[in-house]
Amino acid sequence: MQKCNLAVDIGASSGRVIAGYVQNNQLILDEIHRFDNKMREMNGHLCWDIDDLFLEIKVGMKKSVEKQFQPLTIGVDTWAVDFVLLDKDKNRITDAVAYRDHRTDGVMDEVFQLIDQKAIYQETGIQFQPFNTIYQLFALQKEKPETLKNARYFLMIPDYLHYLLTGKITNEYTNATTTQLLKATNQKWHQDFLEKLNIPEHIFSEPIQPMQSIGSLTKELQHELEFDLEVVLPGTHDTASAVMAVPAQDTIYISSGTWSLMGVEHHEPISTSQAFDYNFTNEGGANDHIRFLKNIMGLWMIQEVKREWHDQYSFAEFVDLAYQESAFASIVNVNDQRFLSPESMKQAIQTYCQETNQQEPITASEFAKCIFDSLVESYHQTAKEIEELTGKTYSTIHIIGGGSKNYYMNEKLATVSKKTIYTGPGEATAIGNLVAQMMATGQLNSIEQSKQMINQSFDIQKF
């Protein structure tokens, strides 16, 4: 039996359970189980199927033993901002509503009537996204005040999955920062904001730092799975885990998946008025760092076009199509809010091009080129903003995540930015999750050691 740690990494488009162990100073990964993740309509809202996600985690745990692994610890990371509420008996009383649901339309402005927008930024350091938890909670308060009245526990998605594994209630710190409800100065829930929005403070527990054990499996699960292990908190925000696994220091990174998260690791938050204007965020890192970054709409745009094309082309085929399409040159502002949750992504892109007097994409290759070129343009602009805001010049950009396999974008970004582009690992988030567990259990001693190990264990390409 090979001893291992298990990372459960669930992104907005897919989830995986990955076993990891160190052998001869190399980090070895074994993908045990992969599953789709999709939003679907439930009770009038776009939701995640949280019960199904938990079943998939259990399938992965069972398969790991079938594959002759002996898992010592497990930790879960997922996308940020979404949550569920439990009542006093710890029963779930909300669906896991997805951040692209329209319940938050217009809500940000209503919140700004009650709390000054600049104060929100200065005190939390978090960027403005219409779907931040603060606006989702306010939307819920308006739609179903009785639900918040009956609520006793607030759990973000990975906190809830950890609760199902252990029975323990935790609010992990890195993900809690994305609520836009934590005070940056003391990492505590912002009582004054909660009061102004009429959100009960007692549903939150003190944010807890990653890289520590929260206990073993519940008795029921031990019985069902016929084994036990420790549940160890990674940076439960997937981007926190991903950034931990960037195998370089002093570089701009892009965590490229459904979203493109582009930024740098920084010691202190940067909440200047310029950072506010450019809408940069200061999320809590798993390693005492601040993730100073910008959310860019990301490969969600091609995911949606792929879906509308009935999955006729794979992602790799869309990349090939973009290479073949040399003439098409229309560019959209990828961060335009119309692309966040449109009825039809193809239509939204075409309308944008019409409005800006550009040629509309019609064929799959035109859509691919338009989306990839537009993302690269946004990366280029964002790199300049990062350099302006940090007062530093960076010679490299390191791309991690599934999107690092997009050679067309990697090459184009190298040309446009005149920086060296490094890519990989593709499974950086799961790797960061595993590293956190290995640090908690004493298998690794420092972030520097882990970055070095990641660098020598995976294929890092240079453009």
Q: By the criterion CB under 6 A, which residues form the site for ligand ADP?
A: 11-14, 257-258, 299, 302-303, 315-316, 319, 401-403, 405-406
Closest residue to ligand ADP, based on beta-carbon distance: 11
303 near ligand LRH (CB under 6 A): no
143 DSSP β-pair partners:
none
- The 226-255 site mask, x for binding ligand LRH (CB under 6 A), equals -----------xxx----------------
Strands 420-423 and 39-42: unpaired
Q: Which of 27, 46, 47, 81 is in the footprint of ligand LRH by CB under 6 A? A: 81
296 Cβ contact list (under 8 Å, min separation 6): 259, 260, 261, 262, 334, 335, 375, 378, 379, 382
Q: Does 80 bind ligand LRH (CB under 6 A)?
A: yes
Looking at residue 212, what DSSP letter applies? Answer: S
Q: Among 21-29, 76-84, 109-117, 371-379, which window interacts with ligand LRH (CB under 6 A)?
A: 76-84
Q: Site size for ligand LRH, by CB under 6 A?
A: 14
For the CB of residue 175, give the shortest distance to ligand LRH in the complex, in Å: 8
177 binds ligand LRH (CB under 6 A): no
Q: Minimum distance from CB of 434 to ligand ADP (Å)?
A: 15
**Exactly one of 77, 159, 238, 373 is catalytic; which is it?**
238
Give the whole-angstrom CA distance, residue 268 versus residue 53: 35
Active site annotation includes 238 = yes
| CA gap 69, 7 in Å, rounded | 13
Picked from ligand ADP, ligand LRH, none, the partner binding residue 80 (CB below 5 to 8 A depending on kind) is ligand LRH
Q: Which does 253 bind (CB under 5 to 8 A by kind): ligand ADP, ligand LRH, none?
A: none
Report the SS3 class of residue 252: strand
**Closest CB to ligand LRH among 111 and 221?**
111
**DSSP codes, 65-109:** HHTTEEEEEEEEEE-SS-EEEE-TTS-B-S-EE-TTSGGGTTHHH
User: Cβ of residue 356: shortest distance to ligand LRH, in angstroms?
Assistant: 26
By the rule CB under 6 A, 259 interacts with ligand LRH: yes
Contact window for ligand LRH (CB under 6 A) among 40-48, 188-196, 258-266, 392-400 = 258-266
Q: Answer with the entry of ligand LRH, ligand ADP, none that 295 interacts with (C-beta below 5 to 8 A by kind).
A: ligand LRH
Q: Are strands 260-266 and 252-256 parallel, antiparallel or unpaired?
A: antiparallel
For residue 91, give every residue at least 6 positions away whose Cβ sits within 8 Å of its Cβ, in sequence order, or none: none
Q: How near is the Cβ of 81 to ligand LRH at its closest, in Å?
A: 5
CB of 305 to ligand ADP, least distance (A): 10
CA angle 152, 77, 268 (to 5 degrees): 90
Whether omega for the bond prior to residue 269 falls within 30 degrees of 0, making it cis, is no
Residue 13, contacted partner among ligand LRH, ligand ADP, none, CB below 5-8 A by kind: ligand ADP
Residue nearer to ligand ADP on the CB measure, 79 or 193: 79
DSSP assignment of 106-170 equals THHHHHHHHS-HHHHHHHH-----TTSHHHHHHHHHHH-HHHHHH--EEEEHHHHHHHHHHS---
**Beta partners for residue 461, in sequence order:** 423
Alpha-carbon distance of 209 to 168, in angstroms, equals 15
**Residue 307 burial by CB count (10 A; 0-12/13-18/19+): exposed, middle or buried?**
exposed
CB of 1 to ligand ADP, least distance (A): 29
The vertex-133 CA angle with 131 and 137, nearest 5°, equals 105
Residue ranges that bind ligand LRH, judged by CB under 6 A? 11-12, 79-81, 99, 237-239, 257-259, 261, 295
Residues catalogued as catalytic: 238
